[in-house]
Amino acid sequence: MTTDVEIAQQFTPRPITEIADQLGIDAEHLHPYGRDIAKIDLKALQKKNGRKGRLILVSATTPTPSGEGKTTTTIGLGQAFTRLNESVCLALREPSLGPCLGMKGGATGGGYSQIMPADRINLHFTGDFHAITSANNLLSATIDNHFFHGNKLGIDPRQIAWRRVMDMNDRSLRKIVLGLGGKNQGIPREGGFDITAASEVM
């Protein structure tokens, strides 16, 4: 039986510039992150190419035990329409790191329906999730710093709903006690971590 890793090794990702050119995206709107990954400037959407497209939304699919859910279904549809000589572009949410350690093996599809390079996309991609995590946790630190400097706003620490985030679904950190270790370590209270994709900053 062929494993997902063996299947993935059979395919070499095409250069992102080649894919952008095929989709009619001008080089000025492409911001490459190496050979295989790029961001696209929103100004690219203002270009009128005379073609009307159709939107297919894949939503709320319950994954199979093997992890075939919305992403794998979307990628499979894209591949099928490409085989029918249709011009296809997929829009997927950046995958969370958490599923990489589970049975699904990541959030870039599976089997023959994968986005490549899966390891770079799953583990870092363009760095946006890291930036969102940092911004969210800076706000958490600001709240704690406000308490440390006297709580002039009179915020009740027991009523804080703002949670810290990380790009990992670590069950042991979902509910924690913060601020143990003396007054310089903050005010003891309950808190926890959400996954970055579910943060308020996201």
What CATH class is the domain 4-123?
A: alpha beta
Which residues lie across from 114 on neighbouring strands?
109
CATH 3.30.1510.10 range(s) for the chain read 128-198
Query: Tens digit of pLDDT per residue, the chain (202 long)?
Result: 556 566 555 567 788 899 898 888 899 999 998 888 888 998 988 877 667 788 899 887 777 777 677 888 888 898 899 899 988 888 877 766 655 555 455 667 767 777 777 777 777 788 788 899 999 999 999 998 998 899 999 999 888 889 999 887 788 899 999 889 887 887 888 889 998 888 888 8
* Predicted local distance difference test score (pLDDT) of residue 146: 92
CATH 3.40.50.300 range(s) for the chain read 4-123
* Predicted local distance difference test score (pLDDT) of residue 108: 73
What CATH class is the domain 128-198?
A: alpha beta
For the entire predicted model, the pTM comes to 0.67
CA angle 52, 53, 59 (to 5 degrees): 155
